[in-house]
Amino acid sequence: MPLTSFEELPGSARLWIFAADHELSHPDSNRLLAEIDRFLMEWTAHRSHLTAGRDWKFKRFLFIGVDESAAGASGCSVDALVHEIQRLEKVIGVTLADRGPVLFRRGEAIERVSRVRFADLAGVGDVSPETHVFDNTLTTVGDVRAGRWEIPAREAWHGQAFF
């Protein structure tokens, strides 16, 4: 019901970022977004509809934001979102809810490796503190708008790999 555009969400809106394990095709992207839109239109917390929006970046990053000024996302509503993501993973054949891997740029390409592998790459100089990483741990839409999502590794938790 209260589905809004991601751009209209306030900076204080709560944020979840889901990163696909591979770039999705156009048909798979369309299916994912249609299913997410359907879910968000019905998403509730304690029988109150949530005002939510989503964005899709680089054919692999799904942003879900909730304006909690009218109704906040509860534990049960967040569980419902995660269950929907897990359902869609099976339907589309993609991993979205695994928050363990590191996603980073190598040129224009986006790579996804385990944290251990990223540390190994740092150890041999294949990635540097200047390598652009995606910080999918951000918690507000304002963090994304402030440019804190795709940043040099030295500015994110990923920088630990270099010390």
Residue range 10-35: average pLDDT? Answer: 97
- Global pTM reads 0.93
Average pLDDT of every residue of the chain: 93
**Other beta carbons within 10 Å of 157:** 12
Model confidence band, residue 161 (pLDDT cutoffs 50, 70, 90): confident
Q: What is the pLDDT of residues 45-93, one digit of tens each?
A: 888 888 999 999 999 999 999 998 877 787 888 999 999 999 999 999 9
89-124 pLDDT, tens per residue? 999 999 999 988 999 999 999 999 999 999 999 999
**pLDDT score at 109:** 96
163 and 147 Cβ atoms separated by less than 8 Å: no
Query: How many Å apart are CA 17 and CA 65, to the nearest integer?
Result: 9
Look at residue 26 and tell me whether its pLDDT is greater than 60: yes
What pLDDT was estimated at residue 45? Answer: 83
- Show me where the domains of the chain are located: 6-92, 102-162
